[in-house]
Every structure is written in C-alpha cells, then in structure tokens.
Structure 1
Amino acid sequence: MKTQPAQLPQLLKKGLAPVYLVSGDEPLLVQECCDQIRQAARQAGFEDRLTFHADQHLDWSKVSDECNAMSLFAEKRRIEIHLPTGKLGDGRNVMERVLQQPPEDIVLLLISTRLDSAETKRKWYRELQGKGVHVPVWPIDADKFQGWLQQRANRHGLSLTRGALSMLAERLEGNLLAASQELDRLSLLTNGNTVDEETIEQAVQDSSRFNGFELVQELLAGRAQHAGKIIGVLQQEGENPLGLLAVLHRDLSILAELQSTPAARENPSAFLKKRGVFQPQRARILERAGRRVTSPQLLEALRLCSQIDRAAKGFDELSPWQHLRDLSVLLAAKA
C-alpha cells in the first residue's frame, strides 16, 4: 500500500509491516519518515540494525543470506538498504524472493531517492505493495512553504509575526534542511519571545536553494516574479542553462501535444500518464498550463527555447538567462 508522510505515524501505531519503502528527493523529509519507522521498530523489539548500500559494489547474495538466516537467539533485526539511484538493479530477484514470504524476525527498510518510474512496474514493487508500505515523499510546493514553516515553528514553540514568517520563507525557500536548522537555532536564541522581522534580519542568512526542475514548474505555472528570483539564484550559482532547457523543452512539447490532440484534451490525466508524467504536482501544473497558455504563447515559448540554446552556446548577443526572463514574462501573460 501507499501512504503519505502525514499518515505514517497513525499507520505505525496500528502495527509494523514487514517492509517499508521511503522514496523522495527531499533528504530531511525522507530522514524524518525513516526515523519514525526506526523508532517504532525499536519499540517493537527490533533493536539490531544492518545497513547495505546498493551501489555497484554490493553483493546482493549477502543481502539474501541475511534475510534468510535464522537467528539462533530469536533476535529481531532491522535491515536497511539505501538505493541512491532509485533502482534495485541486480537486487530485483533477491527482493522478489524475500518479499514473497518476508521473514518474521526482520523489518526491511528500503531508502531511495525518487523511485525510478520503471521500477514501479516490476514484480518486486508489486510484491512490496501487497506486503508492505511505500511512503513517497514529494518536495514542498512553493505556495505551501510558508504553511510548512508555520507548522514547524509551532512545533518548536516559536511565535512569528506575519512579516517574520514571510521573510523567513523568502530566505529559506527550497532548503528544508536549512529551514529546520534555523528554527532550531531561533528557538534557542529567542527564549520564548515573539520573532519579528528585525530578528530574522539579524539572525538568518539567505539560504534559499533552487534547481532547474523548480524553475520549469514556476515558468509553466505563470509565476514570473518567483521564476525571476530562481533565475537570478541559478545564474549566480553558475548553473548550466542547457540542463534545465532540456526539461523545459520536454514539458512545452507535452503541452503542445496536449493542446493539439482532441483525445488528450478530453482526458488529460490519462494522456500525461502515457507520456510518463506520474508526479501529481507536475501533472497538475501541466494540466493547468494546458488550459491557460494559448497556442501563440506556446509557439513563441518554443522559439525562445531555441534562442536560449543558441545563447548558451555563444551564438547570441544576449545571455540565455535574459531569454529565460523573457520566457517567464511570456508564459505569465494573460490571454
């Protein structure tokens, strides 16, 4: 079965599953989910822990041996397997055998980056869905980040003015680990006093962090102001615009097909799944963009992609980042 991170604590209270998969690209949220599972397992007597990293050097036969070994002293164990690429690779057959009849004295925890979409179609994943729990962890949407910060602040007993919360969100957006650390620090510094803008100004540095995927989402959502901020950060960090251009051109091409295909317009959700769009947030953004962006806007956006490509390769007088800013304004314009 699948469950959301917010539902995990209640699910763990009902009892332990033999296997858990926690996947996602936000290290803080993945770590917190894993810690909840570890704590519940320890409370249930699964004290010993064995850890494997599924890189090219891992001998999966050792994993198989550990999962099949009978404990002489009936010790309960936790076996953790880290999947840095989101793929099991040579371990698929091992996991299939283990998951067909999970050992009673072991809790298996798979910790992965965002799970490769091809893996979700394989037999081992179907076995896991039937025998265990998958906790997919998605990044916090930009428009929900302030709410997330407020919840975390409440958990720390911090009282923030509205201006302080807004300033904190602006400085920490996209960097949940830094946000968590800053809230820890603020709770020590303020000693129960209300946190205002002046306190944030003096105590919190700008630690906002973005990537090309986030920029593409903001461009398609028509949020030009926020996209402009991300463009500035990526430019300062020396990001290669060609990397994000590939993602942008892919999604604009999907939009063009969505708009020009009658069957796709009638059932956009099914169409997007066929095109490999499985993440709910990305699917929502593409569906909304398909309704909002006009065909002329889309054609001009694709032309600007060509200009960005030329500029990044030194064949244009303007910076590729300037063309990206123009594209952000274009996609934000109302029809």
Structure 2
Amino acid sequence: MKTQPAQLPQLLKKGLSPVYLISGDEPLLVQECCDLVRKAARDAGFQDRLTFHADHQLDWNSVADEFSAMSLFAERRRIEIHLPTGKLGDGRAVLEQVLKEPPEDIVLLLISARLDAAETRRKWYKELQNKGVHVPVWPVDADKFQGWLQQRASSRGLSLTRGALAILAERLEGNLLAASQELDRLSLLGNGSTIDEETVEQAVQDSSRFNGFELVTELLAGRAPHAGKMIGILQQEGENPLGLLAVLTRDLNLILELKGTSAQGENPSAFLKKRGVFQPQRARVIEQAARRLDRKQLHEAIELCSQIDRAAKGFDDLSPWHHLRNLSVHLAGRT
C-alpha cells in the first residue's frame, strides 16, 4: 500500500509490515519517516540492525544470504538498504524472492532517493505494494515553505517575527534539512524570547567562514581549486559533511531533471522557479551546470555522493572529505 508521511505514525500503531519503502529527495523528511519505522520496530523487539548501501560495491548475494539465514536465538532483526539512485539494478531478483514470503523475524526498510519511474513498473515494486508500505516523500512547495518553517519553529517553542521568517525563508531556499539545523541554532540564541530580524542576522554573521551552501555553489560551477580550499577549511572546523551532501545531492538531481525538461522545450527559469529556486545566483549556477555536464557525469557524481555518505557513516576506510575532493575534480570535468 502507499501512504503519506503524515499518516505513517497512525499506520505504525496498527502494527508492523514486513517491508517499508521510504523514498524522496527531502533528506530531513525521509530521515524522520525512517526514524518512526525504526522506533516502532525496536519497540516490537526488532533490536538488531544490519545496513547495506546499494552502490556498485554491494554484493546482492550477501543480502540474499542474510534473508535466508536463520537468526541465532530467534533474534528479530532490521535490515536497511539504501538506494541512492532510486534504482535496484541487480537487486531486483533478490527482493522479488524476499517479498514472495517475507521472513517473520525481519523488518526490511528500503531508503531511496525519489523512486525511478521505471522501478514502479517492476515486479518487485508490485510485490512490495501487496506485502508492505511505500511512503513517498515530496518536496514542500515553494509557496508553502514559510508556513512549514513557522510550524517547525512553533514545534520547537520558537516564535518568529514576520521579518525574521522572511529572511530565513529567503536564505534557506526551501532546504528543509538546513532549515531544521538553523532553527536549532536560533533556539539557543533566542533563549525563549521572540526571534526577530536582528537575531537572525546575528546568527548568519556567527556562522562559519564558509558554509555548505557556498561549497555546493563552487562544486556545481566546476571551480575545483577554490572548492578544495573550502573543503579543507570545513574539515578543520568540524563541519558535518552530511548537511552539505544533502544539498548537493538535491541539486544534482535537480540538474538532471532540468536537462530533461529543457530537451522538451520547457523554459529553464520557469522550471527552476516552480521547483523553489528563486535566488538568481543559484539558478544561474544550476543552469550552467546543466549545460556543462552530461548525464553520464551527473550520474557518476551522484554515485560519488553515495560514497561520501558511506564514508561519513563509517562504512569506508577513507574520509568523506577525501571523496568530496574527488567529486570536486569530477564536477570540474577533469580526470
């Protein structure tokens, strides 16, 4: 079955399904839906967790072995599989087999980028619809972002003036993950009082010398030398690479979409405004990247983002910053 994120908590109260698919390009909302499933599974006794990343390094036979193996001492397990491209590839046959008769001692959580349209026509997806739950996560519309921001602030006990809300909305450009982080910082600065324009401006001034937004701009523009310097500074300052990675992955997927719509004759500016890109500089960088980079380069860049994600979560011997430097060179069109 398919359900909306807002309906997921109530659905989980009725009992667990053997498989959940959470898909979308909004990392914050995807993460929050996943956390709801994880908590419900833990509460039901599924304590152990095993995680796989479906990149070119994954051996799907090892995934199949985990589902066919008998759990020692009848332990219940959660198996999570990250699908960074929204495609299963070699994993389709494995999931088809698993979904025919899902094991009773395993809850499967599939975490995907926006699901590739072709995948929804595959046999495995139809089996999932019959046996489990798909939660598609859609971006917050640009005209609803301020309302989302206000609601999010209220849930943290924050009160924002209209001017503060407008400044935040313009600066954050619809990025929900960055918005959540910014509200966390403002909750410390505000100390229970109303957040006004001056407080927001002070928070901006107190931010790091370089931030993830600026680095993403340099990466997409192909300015590898300057991007490399910024990467070094952000690494020294202890920046979490997952925050900027979420922004970068979103924009790479947006560039891929833009290339498709431009080929069909749609105006790039109109498309970007429809997707919530209003700042001229960011729109210009995205349009230029769409002209400069071909589809193969973009798909390879998204694959590199998956490596960065793995490294940041401890699944790689190399630092995520190492892979990020490689990505800067790749997006500059160098080998």
Q: TM-score range by the shorter chain?
A: 0.5 to 0.7
One-letter code aligned to 2:15: G
Q: Using the TM superposition, give the Cα deviation of residue 79 of structure 1 relative to its aligned residue in structure 2, in angstroms.
A: 0.3
Q: Using the TM superposition, give the Cα deviation of residue 130 of structure 1 relative to its aligned residue in structure 2, in angstroms.
A: 0.5
Q: Deviations over 1:106-145 (max 9, x none)?
A: 0000111111111100110000000000011111111111
Q: Using the TM superposition, give the Cα deviation of residue 57 of structure 1 relative to its aligned residue in structure 2, in angstroms.
A: 2.2
> Is the 8 Å Cα contact of residues 272 and 283 (structure 2) preserved in structure 1?
no
Corresponding position of 2:15: 15
Corresponding position of 1:24: 24
Asked which structure has the greater RCO (Cα within 8 Å, sep 6+), the reply is 2
State the distance in 1 between where 2:48 and 2:114 align.
27
Q: Using the TM superposition, give the Cα deviation of residue 230 of structure 1 relative to its aligned residue in structure 2, in angstroms.
A: 3.3
CA RMSD of aligned residues (A): 2.8
State the distance in 2 between where 1:184 and 1:75 align.
37
- Find out whether 1:231 has 2:280 as its counterpart: yes
Q: Deviations over 1:155-195 (max 9, x none)?
A: 11001111111111111123221111110011111111001
Alignment CA distance shift 1:221-1:58 (3 Å): closer
Question: Which runs of structure 2 are paired with 1:139-288 in the superposition (5 Å)?
Answer: 139-204=139-204, 211-212=254-255, 219-220=269-270, 229-235=278-284, 239-242=288-291
Q: Deviations over 1:300-324 (max 9, x none)?
A: xxxxxxxxxxxxxxxxxxxxxxxxx
Corresponding position of 1:91: 91
State the distance in 1 between where 2:147 and 2:141 align.
10
Alignment CA distance shift 1:174-1:129 (3 Å): same
Q: Secondary structure at the match of 1:62?
A: helix
Question: Which runs of structure 2 are paired with 1:112-127 in the superposition (5 Å)?
Answer: 112-127=112-127
> Is the 8 Å Cα contact of residues 22 and 34 (structure 1) preserved in structure 2?
yes
> Is the 8 Å Cα contact of residues 18 and 103 (structure 1) preserved in structure 2?
yes
Q: Using the TM superposition, give the Cα deviation of residue 232 of structure 1 relative to its aligned residue in structure 2, in angstroms.
A: 2.3
Size of the aligned set, in residue pairs, is 244
TM-score by length of 1: 0.66
Alignment CA distance shift 1:237-1:92 (3 Å): closer
Q: Secondary structure at the match of 1:204?
A: helix
> Is the 8 Å Cα contact of residues 46 and 77 (structure 2) preserved in structure 1?
yes
State the distance in 1 between where 2:124 and 2:4 align.
21
Structure 2 unmatched ranges of 5 or more: 206-210, 215-246, 296-335
Q: Using the TM superposition, give the Cα deviation of residue 54 of structure 1 relative to its aligned residue in structure 2, in angstroms.
A: 1.2
Identity within the alignment, %: 70
> Is the 8 Å Cα contact of residues 182 and 204 (structure 1) preserved in structure 2?
no
After the TM superposition, which of the residue ranges 99-108 and 215-224 deviates more from structure 2?
A: 215-224
Q: Secondary structure at the match of 1:50?
A: strand
Q: Using the TM superposition, give the Cα deviation of residue 233 of structure 1 relative to its aligned residue in structure 2, in angstroms.
A: 2.1
Alignment CA distance shift 1:221-1:51 (3 Å): closer
State the distance in 2 between where 1:184 and 1:176 align.
12
Q: Using the TM superposition, give the Cα deviation of residue 221 of structure 1 relative to its aligned residue in structure 2, in angstroms.
A: 7.2
State the distance in 1 between where 2:288 and 2:203 align.
28
TM-score by length of 2: 0.66
Q: Using the TM superposition, give the Cα deviation of residue 200 of structure 1 relative to its aligned residue in structure 2, in angstroms.
A: 1.2
> Is the 8 Å Cα contact of residues 146 and 166 (structure 1) preserved in structure 2?
yes
Structure 1 unmatched ranges of 5 or more: 247-335
State the distance in 2 between where 1:243 and 1:217 align.
17
Corresponding position of 1:318: none
